[in-house]
Amino acid sequence: MRVNNLKNNDINIDIAEALRYLGYKSKEIDDETYKSLNESVAELQEISELKYVYRIIDINKKVDNYISFAEEINIKSHDLANLFKNCDKAAVLATTIGFEVEKRIRYYGMTNLSKSIVFDACAAAYIEALCDYIEEEIRELAAKEGCSITYRYSPGYGDVPLFHQAEILRALNAEKLIGLSALDTSLLVPRKSVTAFIGFNKTNEIYKKSCLDCTFYNNCSFTREGGKPCAKYAR
Partner 1 sequence: MLNMLDNNFLFFDGAMGTMLQQSGLKTGELPEELNISNPEIIYNIHKKYVNAGVDIITANTFGANRLKFKDSAHTAEEIITAGVRIAKQSIEGLNNKYVALDIGPIGTLLSPLGTLSFDEAYDIFKEQILAGVKAGADIILFETMTDIYELKAAILAAKENTHLPIFSTMSFQDNGRTFTGTDVATFVSVVEGLGVDVLGVNCSLGPNALQPIVDALIKYSSTPIMVQANAGLPKYKNGISYYDIDPDEYSHEINTMAKKGVAILGGCCGTTPEYISSIINSLDGLKPVAISKKHYTSTSSSSKTVFIGDEVKIIGERINPTGKKMLKEALRDNDLDYVIREAIAQQDTGSDILDVNVGLPDIDEKEMMIKIVTELQGVISLPLQIDSSNSDVIEAAVRIYNGKPIINSVNGKKESMDAILPIVKKYGTLVVALTLDEEGIPKTAEKRLAIASNIINTAKEYGIAEENILIDPLVLTASAEQAAVMETLKAIPLIKNKYNVKIVLGTSNVSFGLPNRKLLNTTYLSIALGYGLDAPITDSTNEALMGVIKSFKVIANQDIDSKDYIEAYSNVTTESTRINSNGDLKEIIIRGLKDEATKASKELLNQYTPLDLVNEFMIPALDIVGEKYEKQEIFLPQLIRSAETSKLVFEKIKEMTLKDGSEVIDSNKILLATVKGDIHDIGKNIVKLILENYGYKIFDLGKDVDIDQILETVQKENISLVGLSALMTTTVKNMELTIKALKATSPQTKIMVGGAVLTPDYASKIGADYYSKDARGAVDIAREVFSK
Binding characters for partner 1, 174-213, by CB under 8 A (x = yes): -xxxxx-xxxxxxx-xxx----------------------
Binding characters for partner 1, 46-75, by CB under 8 A (x = yes): ---x-----x--------------xxxx--
| Cβ-proximal residues to 6 (8 Å cutoff; 6+ apart), any chain | 50, 51, 52, 130, 133
Q: What is the nearest approach in angstroms of partner 1 to the Cβ of residue 26?
A: 7
Beta carbon nearer to partner 1, 209 or 235: 235
CA–CA gap between residue 93 and residue 3 (Å, rounded): 10
Contact residue for partner 1 among 10, 61, 107, 217 (CB under 8 A): 107
128-157 residues near partner 1, rule: CB under 8 A: 156
**45: contact with partner 1 by CB under 8 A:** no
Helix (H) or strand (E) holding 75: strand 73-75
Beta carbon nearer to partner 1, 32 or 140: 32
Q: What is the nearest approach in angstroms of partner 1 to the Cβ of residue 107?
A: 6
CA–CA gap between residue 213 and residue 232 (Å, rounded): 14
- Which residue stretch of 59-67, 160-168, 193-201, 223-231 sits at the interface with partner 1 (rule: CB under 8 A)? 160-168
| Per-position DSSP letters for 189-218, written without gaps between them | ESSSEEEEEEEEETT-PPP---GGG-TTGG
How many other CB atoms are found less than 10 A from the CB of residue 200? 24
Beta carbon nearer to partner 1, 203 or 218: 218
| Cβ-proximal residues to 110 (8 Å cutoff; 6+ apart), any chain | none
